Structure 1
Amino acid sequence: MLTGINKVFTFVDDRVKARDFWVKKMGFILYRDFGDCPGQDWVEILAPDQRAGIVVAPRPEGMPSTAGQLSYLAFWCEDVREKRAELEARGVKFVDEIVEESWGLSTTFEDDEGTQFNLSERKEIVTDFAA
């Protein structure tokens, strides 16, 4: 049986700039930095709850930039308004207003390379799928 999600990948042009964004601005935990290892130029960071991580890796040759595009990576928090204010104070740029969706409040921020990510809150967590 699977236990959970281990890590997801995001590709960047500047590993150091991306590491600093996720750790200093977003409050993630630096788990491993392979920048000094030959052939292994990536960073692993952990979400604050330490349940899943993000591998921040160099964009492979030929892979287009994701600047200005919504990524396939979304985050959640207990209170979107509070978290947005906190992140804006740390220098995180938001590209839209907070919107009320059927699942809760939602907004979009971007990293320092312009890739966009969703931030939302959950109204409830479904644990009984038989219902």
Structure 2
Amino acid sequence: MAISVSQVSLYYQDQDAALRFWTDQVGFEVATDLPYGHDRWIEVAPPGGGVRLVLYKAAPDWPTLSSDKPNYVLFETDDLVKTHEELSARGVRFTMEPRQEGWGWSAVFTDPEGHLFHLGQKR
């Protein structure tokens, strides 16, 4: 049996702001943007494909993110320092600057609604 991850859902109050962040600042591409009930079904993916992020519209009564329980999605890049420079130049805010760990390079960035994302370097 082969199982793989195809999508990760991220919940947003403002889908348009989330879409701008992932496309304009991070550089992902729109894979799907269709009506979905009263909202939209939006998927973005890294250029060339990969796991898609679903930018799902959160219901008004859903709980907001808690700073003591971060939700990480882990990304990796060939050159973390260079990617950090490029993303920072596009306005992506890092909560942890790149640093060398025992297992490799690591950094953490955030989106406009406070989701945290880990960025590591391929080994």
Q: TM-score, normalised by structure 2?
A: 0.87
Tell me if structure 2 keeps the 8 A contact 1:18–1:56: yes
Which digits, 9 at most, give the CA deviation of each residue in 1:13-36, with x for residues without a partner? 1000001100110011101112x4
RMSD (Å) for aligned C-alpha atoms:
1.9
Structure ranking higher in strand proportion: 2
- Compared with structure 1, are the counterparts of its residues 65 and 41 closer, same or farther at alpha carbon in structure 2 (3 Å cutoff)? same
Deviation at 1:122, TM superposition (A): 2.3
Deviation at 1:81, TM superposition (A): 0.6
Tell me if structure 2 keeps the 8 A contact 1:96–1:107: yes
Tell me if structure 2 keeps the 8 A contact 1:67–1:116: no
Give 5+ residue unaligned stretches, structure 2: none
Superposed, which structure 2 residues align to 1:40-79 within 5 Å?
40-66=39-65, 68=67, 70-79=70-79
Q: How many residues align?
A: 122
* Partner in structure 2 of residue 38 of structure 1: 37
- Compared with structure 1, are the counterparts of its residues 120 and 43 closer, same or farther at alpha carbon in structure 2 (3 Å cutoff)? same
Deviation at 1:98, TM superposition (A): 1.6
The whole-number CA distance in structure 1 between the counterparts of 2:100 and 2:20 is: 30
The whole-number CA distance in structure 2 between the counterparts of 1:81 and 1:89 is: 12
- Compared with structure 1, are the counterparts of its residues 72 and 60 closer, same or farther at alpha carbon in structure 2 (3 Å cutoff)? farther
For 1:106, the aligned partner's letter is: S
- Compared with structure 1, are the counterparts of its residues 49 and 17 closer, same or farther at alpha carbon in structure 2 (3 Å cutoff)? same
The whole-number CA distance in structure 2 between the counterparts of 1:100 and 1:64 is: 34
The whole-number CA distance in structure 1 between the counterparts of 2:66 and 2:83 is: 23
Deviation at 1:3, TM superposition (A): 5.7
The whole-number CA distance in structure 2 between the counterparts of 1:61 and 1:26 is: 26
Which digits, 9 at most, give the CA deviation of each residue in 1:58-80, with x for residues without a partner? 12454322264632311110111
Deviation at 1:41, TM superposition (A): 2.3
Give 5+ residue unaligned stretches, structure 1: 124-131
The whole-number CA distance in structure 2 between the counterparts of 1:4 and 1:29 is: 21
Percent of residue pairs identical: 29
Q: TM-score, normalised by structure 1?
A: 0.82
Deviation at 1:53, TM superposition (A): 0.4
